[in-house]
Amino acid sequence: MKVSIIGAGNVGATCAQFIAMKGIVSEIVLLDIAEGLAAGKAMDLAQSMPALGFDTLIYPEVDDYSKTANSEVIVVTSGQPRKPGMSREELVAVNVSIVESVIKNAIKFSPKAVFVIVTNPLDTMTLVALKASGLPKNKIIGMGTILDSNRFRYFLSKKLQKPINEIEAMVIGGHGDTTMIPIKELATYKGIPISEILTNEAFEEVIKETMVGGATLTKLLGTSAWYGPGAAVTELVDTIVNDKKKLMPNSVYLQGEFGIDGVCIGVPCIIGKHGVEGILEIKLSDSDKIKFINSANAIKEVNGLI
Ligand code: NAI
């Protein structure tokens, strides 16, 4: 089994690290245009294997896509990240051409792959990838709301002072500070609705923290985060290659679902070896229905820039 990661920067290299450590595939190709970067990261990672006890083959490449041939999954982490104070949407101009060229190159050698898009602005880049690939919509998955959901769980766990893995929560909508929708009704602690445990005021605070979760990290780090994104991509890749049929929120192309058409946006979907194998049209509260429509409209506006 082979996964190729295009873009060996902070997020791409962390994806390689976590995918290798979990032994999800036997081979990883780490490709970047920057001379030496993929080679250095792959060598460094390989030298960590004896101490940590994993054994994945990691091949570094500089822009030679023939080495990515027959990948089960292609992860697209190439492109500029945001700097403090920037919105993800401000990255459109620079990242469109990167994503288009990466997809066109990768698909020549892996026409059957499922593509996982990570580059921001995520929902627009997922649409760019879908158009550039000409693939059926189930093969193109944007990873954004898995990460947002994990951030929601983190802020809930802090507020409740409970272990994060005892908390379930989901974010849908756009992968943007103002477009994501943390769903209150789906947040549970050991199966108990969190709305029965937290005051409304405390819950709203958590929602605010979640929505600016990425921006908070960008301010602290001077660039965007990588452990959370790398881990979320790893869970998604594991779900695809091991055909787990797991329910997870991802940005996918809608054609009428949730009353929305022609936009890639985060919705709960079943993921397996064919990529998106179903979309679950969960019942939304009236206020979340409005937020979802507004979110789709905001993404459409950014899509208008491509
Ligand atoms: P980075 O700057 O550390 O790495 C990006 C890499 O892409 C660089 O090494 C660069 O040389 C490479 N690259 C640029 N053009 C390329 C091309 N045509 N072919 C191959 N490689 C190319 O950035 P980082 O932090 O890894 O972020 C990457 C992208 O992921 C950004 O757009 C960022 O905003 C996004 N991101 C998305 C998240 C999500 O949840 N969807 C979370 C975190 C970051």
- CATH number of the domain that 71 lies in? 3.40.50.720
Say yes or no to pLDDT of 97 above 90.
Answer: yes
For range 279-294, the mean pLDDT: 97
82 CA distance to ligand 1 centroid (A)? Answer: 10
The Cα 174–Cα 144 span in angstroms is 8
**Per-residue pLDDT for 306 more than 90?**
no
pLDDT tens sequence across 188-227: 999 999 999 999 999 999 999 999 999 999 999 999 999 9
Residue 64 placed within a domain = yes
For residue 179, report the distance from its CA to the centre of ligand 1, in Å. Answer: 21
Contact indicator for 16, 48 with CB cutoff of 8 Å: no
- Residue 242 belongs to some domain of the structure: no
ipTM value > 0.90: yes
Q: Is residue 74 part of a domain?
A: yes
Domain span including residue 73? 2-142
Q: Is residue 290 part of a domain?
A: no
The answer to whether residue 267 is domain-embedded is no
- From the list 153, 175, 184, 291, the catalytic residue is 175
Q: Give the chain's domain count.
A: 1
**Residue recorded with tokens 């004896």:** 50
**175 has catalytic annotation:** yes
Q: Hey, what are 247's tokens?
A: 């329910």
Ligand 1, residues 77, 83, 140, 236: which to mutate, most atoms within 8 A of Cβ?
77
Parallel/antiparallel/unpaired status of strands 27-32 and 2-6: parallel
CA of 74 to the centre of ligand 1 (A): 14
**How confident is the model over 114-131, as pLDDT tens digits?**
999 999 999 999 999 999
Read off the pLDDT of each residue in 19-27 and give the average, rounded to a whole number.
Answer: 97
Q: What is the pLDDT of residue 185?
A: 96
In a domain, residue 118? The reply is yes
Give a yes or no: residue 246 inside a domain: no
Give domain status of residue 303, yes or no.
no
CB atoms near residue 286 (< 10 Å): 7
